[in-house]
């Protein structure tokens, strides 16, 4: 295995853990040793691609700005990629501006397009599978409710800055002319149209031409097109070993995840374990409810080969959204103290962070792609070192995604495609 350089070829800054992993996966696919630190009280690990989760999606904008700024000042790397949510949740504009200020970069291009996931921007309007963003479930996010589908308008309201816009015709004129157009646009933030993966390729080429002068801000789509110089490392994940039970945990309220759970249950026959949400979100009873859920899971897994711990089908209580992932994380740790798992599947960034913070590991090593935008990673150290974890953003994947993840972890296929 190649030893990673002290200074990474690229650093990726994301605002939640699933985003860190699914976009970091694009650099792992290019052969870079890609590591996601979980703990910040230790020196940054050596990696060819270093993925930093600021865990700032649901923070107030000014707090998120300061956190990202401090991290960027600490970094030693030649290039930075800002990972943003493909449905514009979070502090997209302010975090981009923080990087511009910290790294003395003149401009940033904002491109949430992910064609393989149905995200596209045309005429400045972000659509999900053809539906304007405002008419989708993402617009009702409790932390970041949306009021428009226009990317530039969202950024202008957030940052109180003028935001430039470059349409699809200008993008498709080619990288050289696009690079010139970016530099001629008198704004620090620019929203760019992109519908096809070929559009993202042109934008990535323009960013390469303007290296050091423009910050690429995108999701997995744009990251996949960035070109980097490195020595390819073809490490493969070992799948051999005793068959152990699997655990799927979901706190996502996204209808996509709900449909995926239903299909996974139908095919796998994994039982559903649903904790009492009132007790789970009550500070006086949350600890005992987490232990009760773990005990129930242990009993289920002693008789079968998998289970699903979820609050997806329950009505979440207002103001308790951040508490649920943390307590489910506690339940997972209680279970792991009793049962050795063959793999853990986590849906949603808050949940993934809530679980990982309690597994006493300093970092995750991204291993390989299970499905588009869905990685398998392993814990690098701690009592659960080597535990395989598949992480998925709540809205990612087709209806059969969880079922295919189960098959992957079972070793039914070397790699789903």
Question: CATH number, domain at 129?
Answer: 3.40.50.10840
Residue 292 shares a structural domain with residue 175: no
Tell me 159's DSSP state. H
For 224-235, write each residue's pLDDT tens digit: 998 765 555 555
Residue 241 within a domain: no
Closest CA to 90 of 168, 186, 155: 155
Residue 164 within a domain: yes
Work out the pLDDT band at 9, boundaries 50, 70, 90.
confident
Residue 4 within a domain: no
- CB half-sphere exposure, 333, CA atoms < 13 A: 20
**Rounded Cα gap, residues 119 and 329, in angstroms:** 30
Residue 215 shares a structural domain with residue 318: no
Residue 136 shares a structural domain with residue 272: no
Out of 43-57, 85-99, 187-201, 240-254, least confident range: 240-254
The number of distinct structural domains making up the chain is 2
Residue 101 shares a structural domain with residue 34: yes
Extract the tokens encoding 258: 């709900």
Q: Mean per-residue pLDDT for 28-56?
A: 87
The range of the structural domain enclosing residue 399 comes to: 246-410
Residue 82 shares a structural domain with residue 112: yes
Q: Mean per-residue pLDDT for 367-389?
A: 93
Strands 125-128 and 131-132: antiparallel
Kindly tell me if the per-residue pLDDT of 21 is higher than 90: yes
Extract the tokens encoding 170: 């200008």
Residue 103 shares a structural domain with residue 137: yes
Work out the pLDDT band at 351, boundaries 50, 70, 90.
confident
Query: Between these two residues, 292 and 393, which has the higher pLDDT value?
Result: 292
**Rounded Cα gap, residues 44 and 58, in angstroms:** 24
Out of 3-7, 10-14, 327-331, 357-361, least confident range: 3-7
Residue 166: C-alpha distances to residues 60, 173, 214 (Å): 29, 11, 14
Q: Give the angle subtended at the CA of 53 by the CAs of 50 and 56, to the nearest 5°.
A: 155
Kindly tell me if the per-residue pLDDT of 27 is higher than 50: yes
- CB half-sphere exposure, 34, CA atoms < 13 A: 28
Residue 252 shares a structural domain with residue 216: no
Q: Please report which helix (H) or strand (E) contains residue 273, including its range.
A: strand 272-273
Residue 197 shares a structural domain with residue 262: no
Extract the tokens encoding 372: 């588009």
Average predicted confidence (pLDDT) for the chain: 90
**Rounded Cα gap, residues 251 and 394, in angstroms:** 9
Closest CA to 94 of 193, 179, 13, 181: 13
The per-residue pLDDT for 415 is 45
Work out the pLDDT band at 223, boundaries 50, 70, 90.
very high
How would you write 369-411 as a 3-class SS string? EEECCEEEEEECCCCCCCCEEEEECCCCCCCCHHHHHHHHHHC
Residue 48 shares a structural domain with residue 195: yes
Domain boundary among 159, 192, 225: 225
Extract the tokens encoding 190: 């620019």
Residue 405 within a domain: yes
**Rounded Cα gap, residues 15 and 135, in angstroms:** 24
Residue 415 within a domain: no
Residue 236 within a domain: no
Work out the pLDDT band at 370, boundaries 50, 70, 90.
very high
Residue 352 shares a structural domain with residue 267: yes
Q: Mean per-residue pLDDT for 78-107?
A: 96
Q: Which of 25-29, 59-63, 361-365 has the highest mean pLDDT?
A: 59-63
Kindly tell me if the per-residue pLDDT of 57 is higher than 60: yes
Residue 97 shares a structural domain with residue 205: yes
> What proportion of the chain, given as a percentage, has pLDDT over 90?
69
Q: Taking a C-beta distance cutoff of 8 angstroms, is the pair 185, 211 a contact? A: no
Q: Mean per-residue pLDDT for 82-89?
A: 97
Q: Mean per-residue pLDDT for 275-296?
A: 93
Query: Between these two residues, 85 and 353, which has the higher pLDDT value?
Result: 85
Q: Taking a C-beta distance cutoff of 8 angstroms, is the pair 65, 97 a contact? A: yes
Residue 154 shares a structural domain with residue 25: yes
Out of 20-24, 42-46, 208-212, 284-288, least confident range: 42-46
Instruction: List, as one string, the DSSP characters of 302-334.
Output: HHSSEEEEE-TTS-PPTT-TTHHHHHHHHHHHH
For 385-416, write each residue's pLDDT tens digit: 999 999 998 888 899 999 999 999 998 644 44
Residue 235 within a domain: no
Strands 343-347 and 388-392: parallel
For 158-208, write each residue's pLDDT tens digit: 999 999 999 999 999 999 999 999 999 999 999 999 999 999 999 999 999
Q: Mean per-residue pLDDT for 299-328?
A: 86
Question: CATH number, domain at 324?
Answer: 3.40.980.20
Closest CA to 253 of 138, 331, 404, 102: 138
């Amino acid at each position: 295995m190649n030893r990673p350089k002290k200074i990474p070829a690229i650093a990726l800054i994301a605002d939640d853990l699933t985003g860190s992993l699914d976009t970091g996966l694009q650099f792992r696919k290019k052969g870079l040793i890609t590591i996601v630190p979980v703990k910040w009280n230790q020196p940054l690990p050596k990696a060819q691609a270093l993925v930093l989760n600021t865990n700032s999606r649901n923070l107030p904008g000014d707090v998120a700005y300061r956190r990202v700024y401090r991290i960027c000042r600490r970094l030693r790397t030649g290039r930075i990629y800002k990972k943003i949510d493909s449905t514009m949740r979070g502090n997209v504009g302010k975090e981009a501006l923080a990087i511009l200020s910290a790294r003395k970069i003149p401009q940033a291009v904002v491109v949430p397009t992910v064609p393989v996931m149905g995200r596209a921007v045309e005429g400045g309007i972000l659509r999900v599978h053809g539906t304007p963003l405002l008419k989708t479930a993402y617009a009702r996010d409790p932390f970041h409710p949306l009021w428009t589908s226009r990317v530039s308008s969202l950024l202008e309201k957030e940052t109180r800055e003028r935001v430039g816009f470059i349409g699809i015709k200008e993008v498709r004129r080619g990288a050289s002319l696009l690079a010139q157009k970016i530099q001629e646009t008198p704004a620090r933030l620019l929203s760019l149209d992109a519908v096809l993966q070929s559009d993202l390729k042109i934008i990535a080429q323009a960013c390469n031409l303007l290296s050091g002068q423009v910050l690429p801000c995108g999701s997995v789509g744009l990251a996949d097109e960035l070109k980097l110089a490195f020595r390819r490392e073809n490490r493969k994940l070992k799948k051999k070993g005793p068959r152990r039970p699997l655990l799927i945990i979901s706190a996502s309220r996204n209808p996509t995840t709900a449909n995926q759970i239903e299909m996974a249950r139908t095919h796998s026959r994994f039982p559903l374990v649903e904790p009492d949400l009132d007790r789970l979100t009550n500070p006086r009873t949350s600890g005992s409810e987490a232990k009760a859920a773990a005990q129930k899971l242990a009993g289920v897994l002693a008789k079968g080969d998998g289970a699903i711990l979820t609050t997806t089908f329950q009505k979440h209580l207002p103001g308790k959204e951040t508490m649920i992932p943390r307590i489910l994380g506690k339940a997972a740790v209680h279970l792991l103290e009793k049962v050795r798992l063959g793999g853990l599947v986590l849906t949603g960034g808050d949940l993934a962070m809530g679980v990982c913070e309690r597994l006493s590991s300093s970092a995750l090593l991204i291993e390989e792609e299970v499905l588009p935008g869905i990685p398998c990673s392993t814990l690098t150290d701690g009592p659960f070192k080597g535990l395989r974890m598949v992480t998925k953003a709540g809205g990612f994947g087709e209806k059969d995604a969880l079922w295919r993840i189960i098959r992957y972890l079972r070793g039914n296929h070397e790699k789903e495609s």
